[in-house]
A and B are shown apart, each in its own frame.
Chain A
Amino acid sequence: MTTFADTYKKYADVTVERNEFGFDKVRVAQAAPILGFLYENWFRVTMVGLDSLPESGPALIVGNNGGILPLPALMLMYALMRAEKPRRLNVLAEMSWIEDERLYSLLTELGFVPWSSANAKKLFAAVEVVALFPEGIPGAVKPVAEKYRPLPFDWTRLLPAIEERVPVVPMATLGCDDAIPVIKNLDWLAALMDMPAFPITPLFPWLPFPLSLTPLPVKWDMHLLKPYICEPEGDSRDHMEDAAADRSCWLEGEIQAELNRMIRSRIRAL
């Protein structure tokens, strides 16, 4: 804890100890070396555009997801932790399927929050930075043939941000789909085992547990794009819904276009 407080002094200063969703700074301090290793040495993340994040006030970061584990969320969390002006990241995620309490509490202690619009609004009211991956679990287990082609975004997830007039920042992550390449998602086995998905990867489920989820050491690029505050035409529910649907289509396209650009520049770099 002491070394953590020294290394991430600014982060430790601005961050609460605990909150109502189960966040625990001690757990973050324990996880920081692991996240740091993944960020700096394993994925060698290039983070672009962190300064486009509003310096104060709430913000919603919307990104593409891939590779089973919520690695983009964790990498973003670490990037914000060691940033010049650090912010604590909350990740709104689908957590109702998790039955293992240890896993559930680990995630909440790191800053994951089960998705609901009430929770989202609470976080915005508490002036927090929130990350959201609207593809959901199907997006995380999409097969490698469809890599970097985001699934259609669920626009209802954007409603709280539209209603509260929170700036929305798109984020494109290149590398997550290659880190854990999913060969196929076995729906029937997932249904049998009462899990949201059962992906087959070159390592999963063949190797013993922690090894089977090892990500490949792929070079990552993460780009935060320009924030946008949505102004719905009116205050009625219909206007909000229209604005959210439009915005989620736009975000999806923007992230896809940025991914296309990143893929091109990566090919050139090789």
Chain B
Amino acid sequence: VVDWTNIQEALRVETPKLSEDFARRCPAYYSRYAGEQDKWGYNIDVFARWEILFRFLFEDYFNLTIRGLENIPNEGRAILVGNHSGLLPIDAAVLSVCSANYHPSPRRIRYLVTDWFFTVPGLREWIINTGQVRATLANAHELLSNDEIVGIYPEGLRGVGKTFRERYRIHDFHPGFVQMAIETQTPLIPVATIGGDEIYPNFVNVKTIARLIGMPFFPILGNFPWLPFPLYFMCLPVKWMINVAKPIHLPYPPDRAKDKKLCLKIAREIQFDIQRELNDQLRERKSAFTGWEGGEEPDPSILRFIRQKK
């Protein structure tokens, strides 16, 4: 018989050690955010515990190349806007952990998360503790007035549940993020992620089952739902590339935020830009697993921020 209390005790003992470890590795991040209590329940110990997994994922498993991480400002607020992908929102976690590890002045990224995730019991605490926030307008405004980096995936859940045939085809962006950026005079930073759409080749989306159990989508993969619990989360070791663009400062006064047409136009422009970036990168890519240079070191024009820092 498994004694669950013992396991929980063991994990609780491990946590301080992991936090110390994390503090040693990312001193700037740790000193910035340690002991900070905010109303959304960010907990750096939980972040430190999960950081190991996601660092392994992006450094070794996905072999991530990130370009333009320095475009995330050292101080002040910003809104990150990206294309969503990969069933589990791994792209968000990877970018957070990458920012903690490799940004010259590390920032935590507060993602706005759809309500559905908060209805899943285990997931709810995890999402809250790692710094995610329920997506409401009030929360977003408060985060921005606290000078935080807010991450938004305007595609929402539709973007995560893309099937394999639709990979890297962006759903239309909801213009709410532009409205918020104009209202609060916040720069927008587009982020294009390649790789996420292929880690879980989602062949069919069984809508009937999804509706039955109240999920937004129910994918059928090679391993899901056939294999037992942890195994069905196994993803393919696809080569990842994240491009963080330069911040866009929108030259409009706050009262223009009510102009729906303007907001939609800017949202579309950003959507088209990200889509074009994805198309360009896909055209140059040799294969999904080896990436852009057939398994060899990429040419110097692709700035490999991570490897240079090592």
CA distance A267 to B163 in the complex (A): 10
Q: Are B268 and A253 in contact (CB under 8 A)?
A: yes
CA distance A249 to B269 in the complex (A): 9
Q: Are A250 and B269 in contact (CB under 8 A)?
A: yes
By a CB distance below 8 angstroms, the chain A residues around B269 are: 250, 253
By a CB distance below 8 angstroms, the chain A residues around B268 are: 250, 253-254, 257
By a CB distance below 8 angstroms, the chain B residues around A17 are: none
Q: Are B276 and A253 in contact (CB under 8 A)?
A: yes
Interface residues of A in 138-192 (CB under 8 A from B): 146, 149-150, 152
Closest A-chain residue to B163, C-beta based?
A267
How many residue pairs at the A-B interface have CB separations less than 8 Å?
Answer: 50
Q: Are B170 and A267 in contact (CB under 8 A)?
A: no
By a CB distance below 8 angstroms, the chain B residues around A264 are: 166, 169
**Shortest CB distance A22–B (Å):** 36
Q: Are B170 and A152 in contact (CB under 8 A)?
A: no
Q: Are A263 and B165 in contact (CB under 8 A)?
A: yes
Q: Does B282 contact A (CB under 8 A)?
A: yes
By a CB distance below 8 angstroms, the chain B residues around A263 are: 165-166, 169
CA distance A146 to B172 in the complex (A): 20
Q: Are B272 and A249 in contact (CB under 8 A)?
A: yes
Q: Are B276 and A257 in contact (CB under 8 A)?
A: no
Q: Are A253 and B272 in contact (CB under 8 A)?
A: yes
**Shortest CB distance A262–B (Å):** 10
CA distance A146 to B272 in the complex (A): 17
Q: Does A105 contact B (CB under 8 A)?
A: no
Q: Are A267 and B165 in contact (CB under 8 A)?
A: yes
**Shortest CB distance A75–B (Å):** 23
CA distance A239 to B269 in the complex (A): 19
Chain B 25-68 against A: per-residue CB contact (8 Å), 1 yes, 0 no? Answer: 00000000000000000000000000000000000000000000
Q: Are B271 and A257 in contact (CB under 8 A)?
A: yes
**Shortest CB distance B272–A (Å):** 2
Closest A-chain residue to B171, C-beta based?
A260
CA distance A60 to B24 in the complex (A): 62
Q: Are B169 and A260 in contact (CB under 8 A)?
A: yes
CA distance A264 to B271 in the complex (A): 17
Q: Which of B163, B271, B279 meets A149, CB within 8 Å?
A: B279
Q: Does B283 contact A (CB under 8 A)?
A: yes
On whether A256 and B163 interact (CB within 8 A), knowing A249-B272, A263-B169, the answer reads no
CA distance A253 to B266 in the complex (A): 12
Q: Does B275 contact A (CB under 8 A)?
A: yes
By a CB distance below 8 angstroms, the chain A residues around B163 are: 267
Chain A 228-270 against B: per-residue CB contact (8 Å), 1 yes, 0 no? Answer: 0000000000000000000001101110110111011001000
Interface residues of B in 248-300 (CB under 8 A from A): 268-269, 271-273, 275-276, 279-280, 282-283
Q: Give the bracket for the number of chain B residues in contact with chain A.
A: 10 to 19
Interface residues of B in 141-185 (CB under 8 A from A): 163, 165-166, 169-172
Q: Are A146 and B166 in contact (CB under 8 A)?
A: no
Q: Give the bracket for the number of chain A residues in contact with chain B.
A: 10 to 19
User: Chain A's interface: helix, strand, loop or mixed, by majority?
Assistant: helix
On whether A267 and B282 interact (CB within 8 A), knowing A252-B272, A256-B272, A260-B171, the answer reads no
**Shortest CB distance A251–B (Å):** 9
By a CB distance below 8 angstroms, the chain A residues around B279 are: 146, 149-150, 256
Closest B-chain residue to A251, C-beta based?
B272
Q: Are A257 and B172 in contact (CB under 8 A)?
A: yes
CA distance A261 to B269 in the complex (A): 17
CA distance A252 to B268 in the complex (A): 12
**Shortest CB distance B264–A (Å):** 12
On whether A149 and B166 interact (CB within 8 A), knowing A250-B269, A257-B272, the answer reads no
By a CB distance below 8 angstroms, the chain A residues around B282 are: 146, 149
CA distance A125 to B171 in the complex (A): 39
By a CB distance below 8 angstroms, the chain A residues around B169 are: 259-260, 263-264
Q: Are A254 and B272 in contact (CB under 8 A)?
A: yes
Q: Are A146 and B283 in contact (CB under 8 A)?
A: yes
Closest A-chain residue to B280, C-beta based?
A152
By a CB distance below 8 angstroms, the chain B residues around A252 are: 272, 276
CA distance A188 to B169 in the complex (A): 32
By a CB distance below 8 angstroms, the chain A residues around B166 are: 260, 263-264, 267
By a CB distance below 8 angstroms, the chain A residues around B275 are: 253, 256-257, 260
CA distance A171 to B44 in the complex (A): 51
Q: Are B272 and A149 in contact (CB under 8 A)?
A: no
Interface residues of A in 110-158 (CB under 8 A from B): 146, 149-150, 152
Chain B 63-100 against A: per-residue CB contact (8 Å), 1 yes, 0 no? Answer: 00000000000000000000000000000000000000
Closest B-chain residue to A150, C-beta based?
B279
Report which B residues bind A (CB closer than 8 A). Answer: 163, 165-166, 169-172, 268-269, 271-273, 275-276, 279-280, 282-283
Pairs A–B under 8 Å by Cβ, sample size 15: A146-B279, A152-B276, A249-B272, A252-B272, A253-B271, A253-B275, A253-B276, A256-B279, A257-B271, A260-B166, A260-B170, A260-B171, A264-B166, A267-B163, A267-B165
